[in-house]
Amino acid sequence: MGARERLIVGLDVPTVDEAERMVSRLGDSVSFYKIGYQLAFAGGLSFARELAADGKQIFLDMKLLDIDNTVAKGVENIAKMGMSMLTLHAYPKAMRAAVEAANGSGLCLLGVTVLTSMDNHDLEEAGYPGDAQALVKRRAEQAVEAGMGGIVCSAAEATLVRNIIGPDKALVTPGIRPAGAAADDQKRVMTPALAIAAGASHLVVARPVIRSEDPKAAADGIVSEIESAVAAN
């Protein structure tokens, strides 16, 4: 896997028109895109199909969680869309249902452990005992048991998770911020080089690229940093 395939740019924009313009500006600098709630609910699912048909890889960040049958039927349809990755919350029953539904499709299912916008206080407020690292560890173990394709977690827990899931599964880290970039609403962030060194296979970057005055240069800079980090590790 090349360095460019490790960078996933989040198309966190309000309209498909804006997303189309961003993809055009980025050109060949980016081969992998994330589409989440904001764009999905503005026509982004059809756009995701178009990007996939054009040869782009798509990380559909839907964070599914529902009764088993509903999760399974959703995953079956998403697998038909040509998506590369799909997220769901790492609850054991939901993961098992999703894995069975995606069997043979090539869709990589990713278990979301703890959102990078949450810290220990947020988890306590939500009713989870212990700290973020302990919950990430448990969710990662359960994802492996369920047969998931990988994990989404903060780069701060990447080394811990890599040791649990082994060398071959995907480890996707959002909350990536190049040196000097604002953290925004993320609470557990890391630079691209440090995330790769910690064991991440893919880095999700949105605002530092799409809000840059020169998105293409920003993406190329991150890819260059990934290349150097992979060579050093």
Instruction: Write the DSSP string, 42-81.
Output: IIIHHHHHHHHHTT-EEEEEEEE-S-HHHHHHHHHHHHTT
The SS3 call for residue 146 is helix
Ligand-binding site membership of 184 (annotated): no
- CA-closest candidate to residue 157, choices 144, 182, 143, 138: 138
Active site positions, annotated: 63
| Cα 188–chain centre separation | 15
Report the pLDDT value the prediction gives residue 29, as an integer from 0 to 100. 96
Ligand-binding site membership of 186 (annotated): yes
User: Over the range 140-155, which residues count as b (16 or more CB within 10 Å of their CB) and which as e?
Assistant: bebbbebebbbbbbbb
Ligand-binding site membership of 116 (annotated): yes
Residue with tokens 């980025």: 26
In the chain, how many H helices and how many E strands?
A: 12, 8
Torsion angle, alpha carbons of 156, 111, 80, 207, to 10 = -30
Name the CATH code of domain 3-232 (choices 3.40.50.800, 3.40.462.40, 3.40.47.10, 3.20.20.70): 3.20.20.70
Cα–Cα distance, 174 to 14 (Å, whole number): 19
Ligand-binding site membership of 64 (annotated): yes
Ligand-binding site membership of 214 (annotated): no
pTM of the model: 0.91
Report the pLDDT value the prediction gives residue 179, as an integer from 0 to 100. 58
Which parts of the chain register pLDDT below 70?
179-189
Q: Is 106 exposed, middle or buried (0-12, 13-18, 19+ CB in 10 A)?
A: exposed
Report the pLDDT value the prediction gives residue 17, as an integer from 0 to 100. 98
Among positive and negative, which fits the CA dihedral 71, 76, 81, 85? positive
Report the pLDDT value the prediction gives residue 160, as an integer from 0 to 100. 94
Q: What Rg, from alpha-carbon coordinates, does the chain have?
A: 17
Cα–Cα distance, 60 to 55 (Å, whole number): 15
Ligand-binding site membership of 207 (annotated): yes
Ligand-binding site membership of 68 (annotated): yes
